[in-house]
Amino acid sequence: MNAPPTAPAVRRTRPAAARRTRRRRPPGWVPNQHGAWAMLAAPLLVGTLATGPRWPHLLLTAFWFAGYFAFFATTLWLKSRRRPRYLPPVRAYVATATVLGLLLLLLEPTLVRWAPLFAVPLGVGMVASATRHERALLAGLATAAGSSLMTVVAYDLGPGDRWAAAWTLTAVLAAYFAGTVFYVKSAIRERGNTGFLLVSVGYHLVLAVLALALLPEPARVPFAVLALVLAARAALVPRLGWTPARLGVGEIVATLVVVVLALATLA
């Protein structure tokens, strides 16, 4: 009996599919955390605009993004139990970040004084990935703190000398991004957890009180109102079942509001 007419086609397509699979790049080359881009860019932008941009800020930007790509790739490699297929992006991005960092230090050697501040957030992130707890609350809060520290680094690269304002901007961004950790977790991994939802909403209500008590004029009332809006978002959105991509887009919009308000009232 003759073979079915579809058999040759099946034999031809399987090797092609296998070749496409083999050619596919391993994970780690492109970060897939949608909300991370806002957390990455906002502190750099705020610090740069608050102090006054200079051309070395371009080099700092390249180093910061290469460093994030290296961090993301390394955490995936650690999470995979150090499988060799995850190493190529680690090598590429670590080498790129190292070269850019050395060039930056040649131009601005005093920036090295900020390096120790990043040791704890970086260490927490690496340990969390190695133990497969990268989604833990502590890891998220450490990432928010480490990212926000770029505000003072970017500020230091310019001529600004209002350090009280620079640290206030850093604290505001850190407080906001810490809130996003609670908010996003309540909408994804802890969705349906009423206790965690209440913690998320309560955190933002506390931010409103702290804004009224601690921030200088004219930032006090605007940031208190913003914190109340974010508290309402924290209460409502987790019930809507949004996808991570949609949550990420919402985070970008909210971060832009925070950036504009911070520069208008605190810089």
Please give the full DSSP string across 89-123, using - where no structure is assigned. Answer: HHHHHHHHHHHHHHHHHHH-GGGGGGGGGGHHHHH
Residues 53 and 30 sit within 8 Å (Cβ to Cβ): no
Tokens of residue 262, six digits: 């911070």
Q: Please tell me the distance from the alpha carbon of residue 34 to that of residue 72, in angstroms, as a whole number.
A: 13
How does pLDDT run across 107-127, given as a tens digit for each residue? 999 999 999 999 999 999 999
pTM for the whole structure? 0.88
Asked whether residue 2 carries a pLDDT value surpassing 50, the answer given is: no
Average pLDDT over residues 158-179: 97
Per-residue model confidence (pLDDT) at position 26: 63
Q: Please tell me the distance from the alpha carbon of residue 195 to that of residue 162, in angstroms, as a whole number.
A: 41
Q: What single string gives the DSSP state of each residue in 19-64?
A: HHHHHSPPTTSS---TTHHHHHHHHHHHHHHHH---THHHHHHHHH
Average pLDDT over residues 129-158: 94
> Could you tell me what percent of the chain has a pLDDT over 70?
90
Tokens of residue 64, six digits: 């910061």
Average pLDDT over residues 145-171: 97
Residue pointed to by tokens 């990935």: 129
How does pLDDT run across 183-227, given as a tens digit for each residue? 999 999 999 999 999 999 999 999 999 999 999 999 999 999 999
Name the average pLDDT for the chain: 90
Q: Please tell me the distance from the alpha carbon of residue 23 to that of residue 13, in angstroms, as a whole number.
A: 15
Q: Could you give the C-alpha distances from 262 to 11, 32, 86, 136, 216, in angstroms and in order?
A: 62, 28, 39, 29, 11
Q: Where are the domains of the chain?
A: 32-265
